[in-house]
Amino acid sequence: MQNNPSERPRVNKKYIILGLILIWLVVSLGTYFGWIRGANHRDFYPRWAGARRVLEGADDVYSLEAVRDIQLRLYGSILPEDQDQQGFVYPAILLPILLPFGIIKDVEIATALWEGFAVVLLIISIVALQKLENEISLLPILLFIFWFFTLLMIFQGQITGLVLASLSLGYYAYRRQRDWLAGFLLSISFVKPELAIVTVAFILITSLRQRRPKLLGGLVLGSLLLFLFSYLLVGWWIQDWLEAVLRYTRYAQLVWPLGYLWQITPLLSAVVILMVLCVIYKNRSDGEAMIAVTVPIQLLFFPQTLIWGLTILIFPLTLAWNRAARAGVFIIWILGWVSAFGFEDHGWWKTQIAILSTAVLVLWLIISRGSAERGSIDKVSDVTSSFE
């Protein structure tokens, strides 16, 4: 007779923490000697330089003076205007999270530790989403970490893993009725709002319709704490940040996927919009599916920088894995690797965002209601009750 998942022996939390620390250290060492040591650029470098600048007493990270200081600190010279200026362009609420890494004086060591930290966050995210169904498997963890977009995100030292962890752990806490914690965790995702704002808004609206206002309280509290901490570090930064973002758009590789499809042919945009409407209509009574599809929707409807953000698709893909849609998940995983062959083409990455996001929408269009009707995942009543 098969044991009930709730009756399975639990691993001591101390061993779990020690295991994660060990993974952090091993991955950090591997990345340091593998591709960071001696590298002239990783995307984490200007984040580290901004944190170092604040720790040394500077009260701004966005001005042209701050950008020049970061360039001199990292490269010893001012970069040409037609290159990526390596400025600090993220919301200053990221600074409190960066400070522990900014304490480290060596940028390469700090970057290696950040990349190891990103892998730990990925593991925690995938495990948390799997744990919603009490069935934790090593396979999706390996599958999603050893994915083209994930590896590229880690290689470049991007912060997408932090956003993924915020959404995944926030959603896990929400499903477990720990609404204050859920709101607080979700507030961290605002460090990269274009990857999270629609998902957070939908979870918030759902919680309010279920008369669970504590999630809003946690979201406001978390956002205020991060903002107040950032204000103490650099003062009022909103206007300076917006100006820095505007400067960033002049030299960065940005794309609005839906608009890009329109440029190819308006028919493609029309097809994608129609598919979004179909997915929303079909999933209108399936709250978890609606939350899952907000992720590819915001990838399509908000401007994106290169393809690091596609790592966020781990969120809906893990939820699809939970619904036994493993063949579909494997197909999208393979599609991601196949699309990597066009990576050297400077325009291909724009197509990758559109293709992979649309593929996840198609997957959820196929599996959402069918899985629930078969009873394989009739476990989301806490999320879906407000939609019925």
Q: Which residues of the chain have pLDDT under 50?
A: 1-3, 5-6, 370-388
Is 3 domain-assigned?
no
- pLDDT score, position 285: 86
Instruction: Report yes or no: 317 and 332 within 8 Å, Cβ to Cβ.
Output: yes
Element containing residue 29 per DSSP (H, E): helix 13-31
- CA dihedral in degrees (290, 296, 300, 305; nearest 10)? 140
- First vs last C-alpha separation in the chain: 36
Which of 48, 61, 50 has the alpha carbon at shortest distance from 234? 61
Residue 304 β-bridge partners: 255
Task: Please name the residues in contact with 315: beta carbons below 8 A apart, sequence gap of 6 or more.
Answer: 125, 129, 164, 167, 168, 171, 199, 292, 295
- pLDDT score, position 235: 95
Instruction: Report yes or no: 125 and 164 within 8 Å, Cβ to Cβ.
Output: yes
Q: Which residues of 117-135 are buried (b: 16+ CB within 10 A; e: fewer)?
A: bbbbbbbbbbbbbbebbee
Is 130 domain-assigned?
yes
pLDDT in tens, 44-75: 999 999 999 999 999 999 999 999 999 999 98
Task: Please name the residues in contact with 113: beta carbons below 8 A apart, sequence gap of 6 or more.
Answer: 24, 28, 101, 104
Rama region for 57: left / alpha / beta (φ>0; ψ in -120 to 50; rest): left
Instruction: Please give the tally of structural domains in the chain.
Output: 1
Is 111 domain-assigned?
yes
Is 165 domain-assigned?
yes
Is 5 domain-assigned?
no
**Hey, is 305 helix, strand or coil?**
strand
Is 4 domain-assigned?
no
- pLDDT score, position 170: 98
Is 374 domain-assigned?
yes
State the residue for tokens 């649309």.
Answer: 358
Instruction: Report yes or no: 48 and 128 within 8 Å, Cβ to Cβ.
Output: no
pLDDT in tens, 73-97: 998 888 887 777 888 999 999 999 9
Host domain of residue 261: 11-236+248-387
Q: Dig out the tokens for 33 from the structure.
A: 């000697």
Is 290 domain-assigned?
yes
Task: Please name the residues in contact with 78: beta carbons below 8 A apart, sequence gap of 6 or more.
Answer: 68, 71, 72
Instruction: Report yes or no: 83 and 110 within 8 Å, Cβ to Cβ.
Output: no
